[in-house]
Amino acid sequence: MPALRQVLDHAATAPPSCGRVHVIAVDGRSGSGKTSLAREVAAAWEAPVVSMDSIYPGWSGLAAATGLLVEHVLLPLTRGEDPIVPTWDWLADRPGPRIPLEVDARLVVEGCGSTVGAAAPFAGTRVWLDGAPELRRARAIARDGAVFEAHWEMWAAQEEAVFGADGTRNRAHLVLEPLSGR
């Protein structure tokens, strides 16, 4: 069964997980296809997407981003408030503008760390994407070029530390390998 269908089928049976809002979170290591799958889900589900790439506070900020997601997006939704997404200005290497986000009944969150730790209970459908390391790296470098290539090893070490300590993959509702089908 295609990844999109599996995600939507699970979400159809999951109750709201963030106040009145249904949240699908797509997590996994870099280059595994999270953004592509999240875009498909958001289009089919008619929902906005929050990308963790916008939130990470720099190249060493993977662990810190989950707390920012919870504090500024997920907790406000739980309280019935409008979230404001914190962003990072990658070129200036400093916090960027805070972006208001309109959410009705559904939200898709995608990116490394979107289901880690305190963020996990807010996602009614937690998806983990897997893929062979060499394929993931090739996809990530093709997508982001030399900028990411220079940071690949450092970022991969952060992924190992964060996901290993958290057991993120083991808590996912769905573990998928959509790269093999593309």
**Which amino acid is it at 73?**
V
Question: In the chain, which residue ranges form alpha helices assigned H by DSSP?
Answer: 3-13, 34-45, 52-55, 62-69, 75-78, 133-149, 152-166, 168-171
Q: What is the pLDDT of residue 144?
A: 78
CA-based angle 159:164:169, to the nearest 5? Answer: 90
pLDDT range class, residue 140, cuts 50, 70, 90: confident
* pTM (2 d.p.): 0.93
What is the mean pLDDT of the segment spanning 109-128? 98
Question: 46-78: per-residue pLDDT in tens?
Answer: 999 999 999 999 999 999 999 999 999 999 999
Residue range 4-18: average pLDDT? 97
Strand partners, 85: 99
Please report the sign of the dihedral spanned by the C-alpha atoms of residue 157, residue 93, residue 103, residue 76. positive
Q: Decide: 24 and 123 in contact? Cβ < 8 Å.
A: yes
Pick the range with the lowest mean pLDDT from 40-54, 76-90, 135-149: 135-149
- What is the C-alpha separation between 133 and 23, in angstroms, rounded? 28
* DSSP H or E stretch at residue 26: strand 22-28
pLDDT for 23 beyond 70: yes
Q: Rounded mean pLDDT of 128-157?
A: 86
Is a pLDDT exceeding 90 seen at residue 137?
no
What's the topology of domain 3-177? Rossmann fold (3.40.50)
